């Protein structure tokens, strides 16, 4: 870049290209502010020298929008992307590859804003046009299918997600080869879908394949290899296999620190993952230590209101909650909630999650009325935005039922528990972990209502399915088994 500036001048096309390349390097290093600074310069110079609708200008605008996206500045990203898309349609045509790319970028921003219907609408257009213009097996077509699958996943439409992911994976294997990076990405995406469906053995099998191939083809310390290890660790976490998860996460974290630096976004993500495993193992102090580090670094590197910073604050609040440090947890929960309301809007999925987190903190303090008020808000908003049967809506109904249960309002709790269980059976299947969780919740409610026989039968059925799906030593299986034994001891004491 410096040579180009000296020999060709600051506004020569080759100089601008070299600046854009350097910005891309900064982007990959998570140095988004530096990337932004260069992107702005390239865009402004391109506008001045080439005109607003020159392809290079449009490309520079797209690059800047991407830098905004990574900083969580969705509105600024959207504004640029809409401009790029409209100009591309007008100058290049609706089915030009650059136009399709601009539509995909805008869809990605809509996705980050929780505007999934708008994202889906654009992604379907891109996919269908790509199929027609480029063919079903073109890499860009496969990428558009993968993008659409991610939107379906966010909407809890697992079957449609799975169908697209399988298509992309099989085509990638045939056209690109089993060990091509794009094929490995498609396998990882399918594994993620299996995880969401509670099909952990199938997820694990794919995760292991991706990890082993990545190690062999790319090396142990390649970012994609580290990502595959983190995915496998996540699957282990879901299975309650904390030690195996921890072993992988420590490796990922240490390698990320060495290869990418301590303050790289991927390093911070690996630290957060390890902290989550520590939380699951009740190692609160170690979790807290990592979470504080992640939060403080995120504040400095990304800014106080960046989505990743807010997530790190929410994670720390959860740890405080588990330590019984309610005031500190509440303080962070309120901060996160208020910032998300301001930055993302009242009905963004992340805002609703933060309301749910605050409700949980109130719940743990026995402040049932305040918890109930928030639970109702979250449930109603999710029903309206996501639909009655979205996994997040069902989770919020379960939370409200739990609040009713704590207040001794067992009839109201039962009504919600039954709805959640039946909906999960229909949408997720009888053996999905969330379905099993709702069976246990209903069993506890029936026990409180004095329906002992029904409660025992349901919990016994739940445990049998948990042993089959999660294994006999999964924490959930063990907890429910102990409860059933306690109910049996209680019954024997009463019967003399």
The answer to whether 377 and 355 are in contact (CB under 8 A) is yes
Q: How confident is the model at residue 444 (pLDDT cuts 50, 70, 90)?
A: very high
For domain 383-496, say whether CATH 3.30.70.270 is its number: no
Report the pLDDT value the prediction gives residue 436, as an integer from 0 to 100.
94
Give 368-423 pLDDT, tens digit per residue: 999 999 999 999 999 998 889 888 999 999 999 999 999 999 999 999 999 999 99
- Ranking 8-12, 57-61, 96-100 by mean pLDDT, the lowest is 8-12
Please, where in the chain does CATH 1.25.40.10 lie? 1-106+122-129, 163-281, 383-496
The per-residue pLDDT of the chain, averaged, comes to 92
CA 31/CA 263 separation, integer angstroms: 10
Give Dmax (Cα) for the chain. Answer: 97
Mean pLDDT of 149-157: 90
Q: pLDDT of 242-298, one tens digit each?
A: 899 999 999 999 999 999 899 988 999 999 999 999 998 889 999 999 999 999 999
| pLDDT score recorded for residue 7 | 60
Q: Long-range contacts of range 408-417, CB-CB < 8 Å, 24 or more positions apart?
A: 408/448, 410/445, 410/448, 410/449, 411/449, 413/445, 413/448, 414/442, 414/445, 414/446, 414/449, 417/441, 417/442, 417/445
Domain 1-106+122-129 has CATH 1.25.40.10: yes
Reported as a single tens digit per residue, the pLDDT across 109-128 is 999 888 899 999 999 999 99
Please classify residue 281 by burial: count the beta carbons closer than 10 Å to its beta carbon, then call 0-12 exposed, 13-18 middle and 19+ buried: middle
pLDDT band at 26 (very low <50, low <70, confident <90, very high): confident
Share of the chain above pLDDT 90, in %: 73
**Quick one: DSSP state of residue 157?**
-
Residue 311: pLDDT above 90? yes
**Residue whose structure tokens are 């993008």:** 147
| CATH among 3.40.50.620, 1.25.40.10, 3.90.1150.10, 1.10.3720.10 for 163-281 | 1.25.40.10
pLDDT for residue 198:
82
pLDDT in tens, 38-71: 899 989 999 998 899 999 999 999 999 998 988 8
pLDDT of residue 8: 57
């Amino acid at each position: 870049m410096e040579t180009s500036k000296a020999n060709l001048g600051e506004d020569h096309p080759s100089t601008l290209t070299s600046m854009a390349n350097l910005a891309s390097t900064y982007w990959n290093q998570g140095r988004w502010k530096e990337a932004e600074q260069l992107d702005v310069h390239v865009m402004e110079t391109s506008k001045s020298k080439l005109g607003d609708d020159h392809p290079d200008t449009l490309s520079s605008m797209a690059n800047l929008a991407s830098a905004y996206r990574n900083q969580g500045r969705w509105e600024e990203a959207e504004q640029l992307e809409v401009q790029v898309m409209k100009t591309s349609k007008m100058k290049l045509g609706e089915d030009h590859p650059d136009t399709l790319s601009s539509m995909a970028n805008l869809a990605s921003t809509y996705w980050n804003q929780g505007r999934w219907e708008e994202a889906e609408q654009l992604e379907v257009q891109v996919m269908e046009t790509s199929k027609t213009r480029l063919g079903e097996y073109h890499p860009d077509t496969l990428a558009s299918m993968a993008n659409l699958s991610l939107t379906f996943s966010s909407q809890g439409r697992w079957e449609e997600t799975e169908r697209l992911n399988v298509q992309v994976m099989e085509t990638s294997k045939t056209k690109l080869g089993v060990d091509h990076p794009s094929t490995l990405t498609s396998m990882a995406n399918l594994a993620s879908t299996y995880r969401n469906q509670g099909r952990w053995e199938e997820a694990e099998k794919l995760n292991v394949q991706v990890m082993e191939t990545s190690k062999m083809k790319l090396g142990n310390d390649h970012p994609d290899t580290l990502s595959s290890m983190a995915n496998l660790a996540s699957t282990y976490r879901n299975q309650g296999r904390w030690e195996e998860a921890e072993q992988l996460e420590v490796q990922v974290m240490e390698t990320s620190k060495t290869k990418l630096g301590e303050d790289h976004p991927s390093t911070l993500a690996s630290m957060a993952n390890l902290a989550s495993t520590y939380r699951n193992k009740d190692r609160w102090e170690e979790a807290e230590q990592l979470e504080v580090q992640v939060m403080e670094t995120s504040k400095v590197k990304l800014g106080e209101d960046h989505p990743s910073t807010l997530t790190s604050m929410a994670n720390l609040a959860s740890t405080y909650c588990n330590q019984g440090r309610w005031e500190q947890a509440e303080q962070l929960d309120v901060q996160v909630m208020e910032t998300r309301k301001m930055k993302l809007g009242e009905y963004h999925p992340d805002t609703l999650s933060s309301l749910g987190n605050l409700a949980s903190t109130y719940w743990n303090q026995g402040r049932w009325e305040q918890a109930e008020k928030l639970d109702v808000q979250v449930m109603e908003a999710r029903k309206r935005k996501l639909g009655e049967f979205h996994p997040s809506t069902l989770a919020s109904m379960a939370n409200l039922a739990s609040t009713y249960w704590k207040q001794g309002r067992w009839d109201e709790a039962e009504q919600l528990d039954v709805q959640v269980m039946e909906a999960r059976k229909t949408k997720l299947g009888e053996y999905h972990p969330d379905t099993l969780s709702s069976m246990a919740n209903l069993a506890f409610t029936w026990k409180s209502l004095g329906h002992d026989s029904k409660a025992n039968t349901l919990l016994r059925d739940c445990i049998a399915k948990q042993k089959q799906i999660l294994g006999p030593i999964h924490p959930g299986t063990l907890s429910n088994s102990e409860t059933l034994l306690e109910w049996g001891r209680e019954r024997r004491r009463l019967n003399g």
